[in-house]
Amino acid sequence: MRFFLADPQALQTLTSHDWLGLIHPVLMILFVYPVVGATIRLGILARERRLQINPIAETVPIEHAQHGAWVTGGMLVAVLIGLTHSLRGTGLVPLLLAAAAVLFSFGRLLSTRAIWQRLLWGGASWSGLLLLGLQPEVKRLSDIPWSPWFWQSHFWMGLLLCALMLCSTAMQPLIGRKASIRNLHISLNLLVALLLAMQAISGTRNLLAAIP
């Protein structure tokens, strides 16, 4: 609140690095969260079609999978932007190479049909995020899993969220064919919805905490 009540001239003190830090939450708010809502709606419609409750178009399950891939890709880009904000002073070339490797692995996941290969590429993409995030310049609150601060860390919750989304995207070819995978998919995405809410809270907390 103090940010909005401050003297407008205070905005002139914001550096390019400060503005870069705002891209991550803006991308999540304007792209990821709305597409998540559309994905959930399409998932409900796809279930109704499978149960013959609603005679909707055959393309709805495909659109549901495509929206899920867009959510995962948007989330990866948003996380990479957030990490770039923290790691900008550590060397641009290694950072760009690592980010390219994360996105390349995700692209290979989408273009591959074999499940074990999709899981492998998803794991490679997630590992790239982990390696970037473990740099000392990235604020993580705590790296000790039995510490309460670990479970309040925006970074670790975000990394878990990316892992769940990558796993769900990797299993997509099996979801329509196996009930057990479909139930696992639903369970994982209930956790995703909870984590998205927690990320909105912890991200807002971090932005407010940075205000002098």
Q: Is residue 60 part of a domain?
A: yes
In a domain, 10, yes or no: no
Q: Are 64 and 121 in contact (CB under 8 A)?
A: no
Overall domain count for the chain: 1
pTM: 0.87
- Alpha-carbon torsion 171, 175, 177, 179, what sign? positive
Look at residue 111 and tell me if it is in a domain. Answer: yes
Q: Tell which wins on pLDDT, 54 or 162.
A: 162
Q: Is residue 45 within 8 Å of residue 27, measured between CB atoms?
A: no
Looking at residue 2, its pLDDT comes to: 52
Domain contains 1: no
Tokens 């909707």 correspond to what residue? 56
The angle formed by the CA atoms of residues 111, 23 and 37, to the nearest 5 degrees, is 60
pLDDT tens by residue, 171-185: 998 987 888 888 899
Q: What is the signed CA dihedral for 22, 159, 122, 72, rounded to 10 degrees? A: -40
Q: How confident is the model at residue 167 (pLDDT cuts 50, 70, 90)?
A: very high
- Of 19 and 93, the structure prediction assigns the larger pLDDT to 93
Domain interval for residue 139: 16-207
Q: What is the pLDDT of residues 45-98, one digit of tens each?
A: 988 888 878 788 788 888 999 999 999 999 999 999 999 888 877 777 888 899
Angle (nearest 5°) at CA 43 between 74 and 170: 55
- Which pLDDT score is estimated for 3? 47
